[in-house]
Homo-oligomer: A and B are copies of this chain.
Amino acid sequence: MRPSPEERERLAAVAGRIISWIEELMRAAGIGGEAVLVGSAARGTWLSGDHDLDVFIGVPEGSSLLPALEVARLVAPEFEERYAEHAYVHALFEGFEVDIVPCYLVEDASEIISAVDRTPFHSRYVSARIRGLEDEVLLLKQFMKGVGVYGSELRIGGFSGYLAELLVIRYGSFVGVLEGSSLWRPGEAIDLEDHSSRSHEDPLVVVDPVDPGRNVAAALTLDRMFAFAAASRLFLREPSLEFFFPPDLPPLPDEELREALAERRSTLILLEFAAPDLVEDVVFPQLRKAEQSVRALLERGGFSLLRSDADWHRAVPVRDDGVGATGPSDDVGVLRILLELEVALLPRVERRVGPPAWEAEHAKRFVASHPAPLSGPYIEGGRVVVEVARKFLRAEDILRSQVAGLSLGRHLGPSLRRGYKIYVGQEILEVRDPEFRIFIARYFSAREKVG
């Protein structure tokens, strides 16, 4: 986890060379401003193996970002352009992956034009305070990684590197952060510079010391926050290396998948459709929304869900017939929503509880809208009740009949309507790509450090 002295030296040398090279290119192009190394590499808080450098090209406010982007394109022969709020360049430079990001140099972080303009302020704030605490940050980041809460991307909803650094500054050490977080409750607020700014609704509020209106922990979900807090408590009581380096879950082989199904005896349904060609942070919120819509559809149909999960698998699915690449899309992978139901089949008779019997008009309309009940109408607990014939007895029939009509998010809806596949129960064994088999292994164990 902690980089070796050689690794550190090598990173420092590469970072120095790339900054010099970009500054040379800027002078040649006649661009004012500066190139600056930001992020964990800049402050010695990067984890071994993460060979990523972040270089920002700052230009004066009011000028164009385009010349800086031109420069970024010239840094390395092997590069691609990517887009966040603005275009930036992802290049391969001496074996390191480097993000080269044009941004504006503003006076104060509260006056930024784009989110990336804030990064140099973060870098300066942390650099000035983290000296001597680098190892504490490294421990914390690796701990967060190990317990599955590291990363502020929407897929994870965990802690960003900057947030981890601020926590170490706040609590003074790795163990200090664990002790502090052990006592967290929802709505916990941390305000390093005593900005006492406007309130946030988020589970954890860490006021950005360089931009008081912003919550650094805005992307952290309630569940990740307390997965961390619970793991902290458990580690303080029973420390072990496993918190930092949990065993890898290998893809679940057929035999173990069969065993898990037999052990649970629930009904698993897998819904699979092509992922749209968009970045993760756009797709994941829609995927979670789709998961919720599908759950709600099944619950409206009378089915109880034990749990569900969703993921994006890039791998080309390999099927039972041995022919690879038969998934809905071979290009950008598939989205998968896994639903675990108590039962696959409901009885035909379905109870419908109507309005109170004394609401004459409502009661009349309710009875009229169920013209041929199996039983009823009768009055129970003061309400009009009828028992009618259920339309869909099987959960999969509801899905097949109605999933395409659901509101699934702007990009996922059209994608699903172009085609999807449903696997029920043992049919899930047909899905063989390793990413799915790791996903389902993790689903079955679903073990967090709580205790």
List A residues at the B interface (Cβ < 8 Å). Answer: 182, 184-186, 222-223, 226-227, 229-230, 233, 263-267, 302, 306-307, 340, 342-343, 345-349, 351, 357-358, 360, 363-364, 367-368, 374-382, 384, 387, 389, 393, 443-448, 450-451
Contact = CB atoms under 8 A, between A and B. Distances in A.
B184 A229 contact: no
Given A186-B358, A348-B265, A451 B367 contact: yes
Contacts of A233: 360
Contacts of A306: 347, 349, 351, 387
Contacts of A448: 376-379
Closest 4 CB pairs of A and B: A226-B357, A266-B347, A264-B349, A377-B450
Contacts of A229: 357-358
B347 A265 contact: yes
Most chain B CB atoms below 10 A, which of A266, A267, A302, A389 = A266
Given A230-B357, A264-B349, A266-B349, A223 B377 contact: no
B265 A363 contact: no
B377 A447 contact: yes
A43 B230 CA distance: 77
A347 B358 contact: no
A375 B343 contact: no
Most chain B CB atoms below 10 A, which of A380, A389, A443, A448 = A448
7 contacts: A226-B379, A307-B351, A342-B343, A342-B346, A343-B347, A367-B450, A375-B444
A384 B222 CA distance: 12
A378 B450 contact: yes
Contacts of A342: 302, 343, 346-347
Contacts of A349: 263-266, 306, 340
A78 B382 CA distance: 45
A203 B118 CA distance: 66
B376 A446 contact: yes
Contacts of A307: 351, 375, 380, 387
B375 A447 contact: yes
A149 to B, nearest CB: 10
A263 B349 CA distance: 8
Given A263-B374, A375-B447, A382-B186, A226 B358 contact: yes
Given A342-B346, A346-B342, A382 B264 contact: no
Contacts of A358: 184-186, 226, 229
A438 to B, nearest CB: 16
A450 B382 contact: no
Given A182-B360, A358-B184, A378-B446, A263 B223 contact: no
A403 to B, nearest CB: 23
Contacts of A230: 357, 363, 379, 384
Contacts of A184: 358
A269 to B, nearest CB: 13
Contacts of A382: 186, 222-223, 226
A306 B347 CA distance: 10
Given A186-B358, A263-B349, A266-B347, 7 more contacts: A227-B357, A230-B384, A263-B374, A267-B347, A302-B342, A340-B349, A342-B347
Contacts of A343: 342-343, 345-347
A377 B451 CA distance: 8
Nearest to A449: B377
A368 B263 contact: no
A446 B223 CA distance: 47
Given A230-B363, A363-B450, A223 B376 contact: no
Nearest to A357: B226
Nearest to A365: B451
Contacts of A451: 363-364, 367-368, 377
B375 A445 contact: yes
A379 B443 CA distance: 13
